[in-house]
Amino acid sequence: SQELEQSPQSLIVQEGKNLTINCTSSKTLYGLYWYKQKYGEGLIFLMMLQKGGEEKSHEKITAKLDEKKQQSSLHITASQPSHAGIYLCGADILSGTYKYIFGTGTRLKVLA
Amino acid sequence: GAVVSQHPSRVICKSGTSVKIECRSLDFQATTMFWYRQFPKQSLMLMATSNEGSKATYEQGVEKDKFLINHASLTLSTLTVTSAHPEDSSFYICSARRQNEKLFFGSGTQLSVL
């Protein structure tokens, strides 16, 4: 089973619509990161959240980390075709040793 | 900012050959490096954690003899796909970390095995 679950798995929205992607862990996260990617290409770092209750925004993207540091959401306001891609959350987890893993991913398509 | 260089970016090889992928931290010493693979329409799956000077820790289901990882220095880790087969075709990406700091990622290697 995946230790970092993302929902939804895929998302198709009309340009201009708002959307939210969630990332959930059963364990406390030691730092939660959001990335954007296209398959076969590198990762684009979006935001990093470390403190419970923290919220950050950049342009039309807002990310939050809940108080328990086990769930994060990524919200895009007034989506554009340029927002299309794969969104991944990533985090350090303690599973025997510390390791850095990614969520299951959310594929976003924005229709013009 | 810290830069991680991954080479090659793309490789095509015949079935049965071995392929080596390098991951270098250019301006810092990386105590830990991670290797991931990604299939189309899927997320990045952790393959192994590599600590300098010690054996890599492989994730469940990853064949140690198939995917050889060497972390011989604080700036270089290599992943060798031995006797590659078409099912090994995938996108491989590395990341490097300084002690207790954030991760920096390579740009990835697209492997195609014919």
pLDDT in tens, chain B (114 residues): 668 999 999 999 999 999 999 999 998 898 889 999 999 888 999 999 988 778 899 999 999 999 999 988 889 999 999 999 999 999 999 999 877 677 899 999 999 999
State the pLDDT at residue B1: 61
Which chain A residues touch B49 with a CB distance below 8 Å? 97, 99
- Contact across the interface for A104 and B43, Cβ inside 8 Å: yes
Pick from A30, A36, A99 the residue to mutate for testing the B interface (most B CBs within 10 Å).
Answer: A99
* Positions of chain A with pLDDT under 50: none
Tens of pLDDT, residue by residue over B26-41, are: 988 988 899 999 998 8
CB B109 within 8 A of CB B11: yes
**Token pair 């809940």: residue:** A66
pLDDT reported for residue A9? 95
| Residue in the structure block whose two tokens are 């954690």 | B49
| A42 touches B: beta carbon within 8 Å | yes
Residues paired with residue A5 on neighbouring β-strands, in sequence order: A24
With beta carbons less than 8 A apart as the criterion, state whether A104 and A90 touch.
no
- Give the pLDDT of residue B106: 95
Nearest CA-CA distance, residue B52 and chain A, Å: 15
**Both tokens assigned to A108:** 């976003």
The rounded Cα B89 to chain-centroid distance in angstroms is 14
Which residue of B40, B41, B103 is in closest CB contact with A100?
B103
| Number of residues that make up chain A | 112
DSSP class of residue B86 equals G
From CA A82, how far away is CA B42, in angstroms rounded?
20
Interchain contact, A97 vs B45, CB within 8 Å:
no
